[in-house]
Amino acid sequence: MLAAIKKYFRYPLEAAVAIILLSAFAILPFPYASWIGGAIFRIVGPWLKVHKRAHYQMNLALPSLSSKEIEENLKSMWWNLGRVAGEFPGVPKLHGDIGNKYVEILGKENIALANADTNGAIFFTGHIGNWEIAGNTLANNGSNLAAVYRAANNPIVDRIIRRIRSKVIHLLLPKGRPGAKGIIRHLSTGGQICMLIDQKMNDGISLPFFGQNAMTAPALAELALKYNCSVWPVRVERLYKTKYKITIYPRLIFDLSGNHEQDVANIMLKANRILENWISERPEQWLWPHRRWPNK
């Protein structure tokens, strides 16, 4: 009964709201869409239930911050997340001279090196800054991108999101076994994949993240070890309003022990530490409302 109510009432209503907002954001100039999205989230965000979780998790990860500093960071976080939402439909337009107006790229030579790896390449990042710009920038610089995504609960909204993302990432694969097979096929042809590795994965491996054990998806390490594909960290920072800096760092080199489980853990620990450093430098730009740690 409840499923039927969601299907016939809630889902269409949510989809209607999403279509109206995304259509308006798509029509508006990029800076205006960004500002309006930020303003909406800044007003609504602190009243949401997940705000308390965000406060708790920031305090857990960054205990040196005072309660006042945490609240100030969370206000800025809601601004950033709202800007990400407002910018979302406009990101595929950020190429050529338009892209150069908003995005500064460091380490562009590393994209070329990754694209030349015949074993395929993995770019990884987290939900930091505007993470959607990562895929857009890589694709604009010749990467043949594939990505695994977690479908939105609302199937109508999910189709809308996929339609926008497919303008940049042409091979979007669903989470699960079919997606894993698609990623393997893509890497075998020398393609590149883009991964967000900072979300909780219930059937992942438990590893420290900001000193607290967190379930971590091991796919990046498993793929790198099995198919010898290169791994490249990608960081997106919001510098000011709609001005971004994206940094593609040199290929990660791993010291392997020969013990598969230990090597997977060590690779993911290294990746987690990279994200920790980025988040610590700009805590207001990470997705703190996401339930990253168990029972939080």
DSSP characters for 166-189? TTT-SEEEESSHHHHHHHHHHHHT
pLDDT of residue 133: 95
CA proximity to 240, closest of 90, 99, 31, 66? 31
pLDDT (average), residues 226-231: 96
Residue 97 has pLDDT above 90, yes or no: no
φ, ψ at 270 (rounded to 5°): -65, -45
* Weakest-pLDDT range from 118-122, 160-164, 287-291: 160-164
Structural tokens at position 62: 């960054």
Residue 290 has pLDDT above 70, yes or no: yes
pLDDT of residue 8: 65
Residue 2 has pLDDT above 60, yes or no: no
pLDDT of residue 10: 81
Q: Measured between alpha carbons, how far is 146 from 268 in angstroms, rounded to an integer?
A: 21
* Contact between residue 90 and residue 129 where contact means Cβ atoms under 8 Å apart: no
* Contact between residue 189 and residue 166 where contact means Cβ atoms under 8 Å apart: no
Instruction: Report the DSSP pairing between strands 243-248 and 145-149.
Output: unpaired
4 — pLDDT class (breaks 50, 70, 90): low
Can you tell me whether residue 63 is helix, strand or coil? coil
Q: Which residues pair with 239 in a beta bridge?
A: none
HSE-up of 1 (CA within 13 Å, CB side)? 0
Chain-centre distance for alpha carbon 229: 21
Q: Measured between alpha carbons, how far is 223 from 69 in angstroms, rounded to an integer?
A: 39
Residues 150-186 pLDDT 10s? 777 888 888 888 898 888 888 988 777 778 889 999 9
Residue 223 has pLDDT above 80, yes or no: yes
Task: Report the share of the chain in percent with pLDDT over 70.
Answer: 97
pLDDT of residue 294: 81
pLDDT (average), residues 192-198: 95
* Residue with the two structure tokens 């438990």: 206
* Weakest-pLDDT range from 33-42, 93-102, 117-126, 205-214: 93-102
Residues 43-89 pLDDT 10s? 999 999 999 999 999 999 999 999 999 999 999 999 999 999 999 99
CA proximity to 77, closest of 103, 99, 48? 48
pLDDT of residue 94: 92
* Residue with the two structure tokens 């338009």: 98
CA proximity to 121, closest of 70, 32, 183, 72? 183
CA proximity to 167, closest of 140, 197, 129, 127? 140
- How are the residues of the chain apportioned to helix, strand and coil, as percentages rounded to the nearest 5? 55, 20, 25
Q: Measured between alpha carbons, how far is 144 from 4 in angstroms, rounded to an integer?
A: 40
3 — pLDDT class (breaks 50, 70, 90): low
5 — pLDDT class (breaks 50, 70, 90): low
Find the largest Cα–Cα distance for the chain.
Answer: 55
* Contact between residue 173 and residue 183 where contact means Cβ atoms under 8 Å apart: yes
292 — pLDDT class (breaks 50, 70, 90): very high
Q: Measured between alpha carbons, how far is 288 from 290 in angstroms, rounded to an integer?
A: 5
